[in-house]
Amino acid sequence: MLNRFTTDYLETLGMADFTPTPKVSGRLASFDGLLMEAVGLTLPVGTVCMVGGVNDAKVEAEVIGFRNGRTLLMNLGGPAALLPRAPVRPIGAPGEAEVGASLLGRVVDGAGKPIDGLGPIRGAGRWPLAGKLQSPLDRGRVRVPLDVGVRAINGLLTVGQGQRIGIMAGSGVGKSVLLGMIVRAAQADVIVIGLIGERSREVADFLETKVAGEARKRAVVVAVPANHSPVLRIRGALRATAIAEAFRAEGKQVLLIMDSLTRVAHAGREIGLALGEPASARGYPPSAIAMLPNIIERAGVDVHSGGSITAIYTVLADGDDGNDPVVDSARSILDGHIVLSRALAEQGVYPAIDIGPSVSRVMTDIVGPEHARAARVLRRHLATYEQNRDLVLMGAYRPGADPAIDAAIACHPAVMEFIRQDADAIVPLHDAVAELTGVFGDG
């Protein structure tokens, strides 16, 4: 055995093209709890490094920039007992995610490590975290409706395969419950779920109640709770999108759900402020808002493979403000948005979808004329009722004075019944359309 090792080793050294590669290493110059500065090494942005600490304690950090000849890194893990001039060594190349069928049914963290206790992931392929740049002409049109099992969405805000849509609401209005309803009923080959910046309890609850049964076997979950590093939260969003892109390249119809896009922007804000960027609206630096289209634009239809990514993002409106910078930016990029109303939730209407300000920009391309006409009639009745609600409730309106108001008052119970749906109920697309056209088709 010793002779065989010696022979192989000497033969390797004797190869003409053998060139020794020194190990790259630097030293920690400063650390303020989140942002590190290292000297003595030059690495590309995105490289993962290992920083040594006291008593062999180590912490992972990612290169996020450069300043005055120093390499800036951000902590990826928890607290560590680090000392000045601690060694900093690169351990991973930047920008690749594990993808493929071996991830189905698995739960991974922002670094791609499995956290479901089912052992390592074997046989996975590789895909760039930042995605592969596509021409606008590589994107196909949205032509086929997607059944999401929610009556109000199927009937009034019909979603198409390859559409990007946002669920916008304040905290505690029912975004996660609505996502669970969609996950259970969505007709998709693969479901990729990114739980970014949420509470750890909600991650376990989402897995056990909303991604259970058959849905779990065709789902990949990337979970990065709120107490994780901002770099890991952004990596989690990029990883979920990269996994979806790889399945789309195989020609599959993918449903990508990200909860929430606002938490990704918050992580970008933390990194931007740590790098010294100037804060603009609501404290968001320009890079945090500019990051959103880079994530959202990766979803859609691929004309070459025939696959698609239908993306649903939750967007938290801080203080129920519809003009929040993240909400406003997402609304301008997405192909539609579903607004949840706190007033409806307080009235016991679930899902609390506010039909008036909600819109699907592709609905007219994917539904029939009778369906579209019935949806417009319902919207007209609802808008008329809301505009005259105060007059009706105060008794200031005299029945018969305006036929449009009379029709809106008469139809309002049917409108509310159409929007309301139990969380465990599934209403297929054809049933929702039949009910909508049956009640409002003659208006």
Q: What's 351's domain CATH number?
A: 3.40.50.12240
Tell me: the pLDDT tens digits for 95-110? Answer: 788 999 999 999 999 8
CB 426 within 8 A of CB 149: yes
Report yes or no: 221 and 204 within 8 Å, Cβ to Cβ: no
* Rounded distance between C-alpha atoms, residue 193 and residue 198, angstroms: 13
Q: Which residue has the tokens 């996950």?
A: 183
Any domain includes 38: yes
- Output the pLDDT for position 12: 56
Do residue 68 and residue 126 come from a single domain?
Answer: no
Angle between helices 403-419 and 369-387 (to 10 degrees): 110
Please tell me the pTM assigned to this model.
0.87
pLDDT at residue 91 in the model: 86
Exposure string of 103-141, with b = 16+ CB inside 10 Å and e = fewer, is beebbbbbbbeeeeeeeebeebeebebbbeeeeeeebbe
Model confidence over 277-331: pLDDT tens digits?
A: 888 877 889 888 889 999 999 999 999 999 999 999 999 887 777 788 899 999 9
Looking up residue 387, the CATH number of its domain turns out to be 1.20.1270.330
Do 29 and 154 have their domain in common? no
Say how far apart CA 439 and CA 373 lie, in whole Å.
12
**Same domain assignment for residues 359 and 376:** no
Residue 339 lies in a domain: yes
Same domain, 63 and 102: no
For residue 138, give the nearest of 361, 310, 297 by alpha carbon: 297
In a shared domain, residues 303 and 378: no
Domain presence at residue 1: no
Domain that holds residue 212: 96-363
Q: What is the pLDDT of residues 357-404, one digit of tens each?
A: 999 999 999 999 999 999 999 999 999 999 988 888 788 888 888 899
* Same domain assignment for residues 101 and 51: no
269 falls within a domain: yes
Residues 145 and 65 in one domain: no
How many domains is the chain built from?
3
Sequence-ordered list of residues with C-beta below 8 angstroms from that of 288, at least 6 positions apart, any chain: 265, 266, 268, 269, 271, 272
The domain boundary, picked from 65, 90, 115, lies at 90
81 lies in the same domain as 165? no
Per-residue pLDDT tens digits for 138-164: 888 999 999 999 999 999 999 999 999
- Residues near 9 by Cβ (< 8 Å), separated by ≥ 6? none
| Nearest residue to 260 (alpha-carbon basis) of 315, 210, 221 | 315
417 and 326 in a single domain? The answer is: no
Beta carbons of 47 and 32 less than 8 angstroms apart: no
Residues 388 and 354 in one domain: no
Asked if 62 and 47 touch (Cβ cutoff 8 Å), the reply is yes
Residue finishing a domain among 41, 62, 90: 90
Q: Same domain for 376 and 410?
A: yes
Which domain-ending residue is among 309, 336, 363? 363
Which of the given ranges, 39-53, 124-138, 360-374, has the highest pLDDT on average? Answer: 360-374
Sequence-ordered alpha helix ranges (H) in 218-280:
230-249, 261-274
The β-bridge relationship of strands 159-160 and 145-146 is antiparallel
Whether 7 is in a domain gets the answer no
* Shared domain check, 278 and 222: yes
Give the tokens for residue 73: 């890194």
Does the residue 182 lie in any domain?
yes
Question: What CATH number corresponds to the domain at position 71?
Answer: 2.40.10.170
Is the residue at 153 inside a domain? yes
User: Would residue 3 count as lying in a domain?
Assistant: no
Q: What is the pLDDT of residue 336?
A: 93
Look at residue 413 and give its three-state secondary structure.
Answer: helix
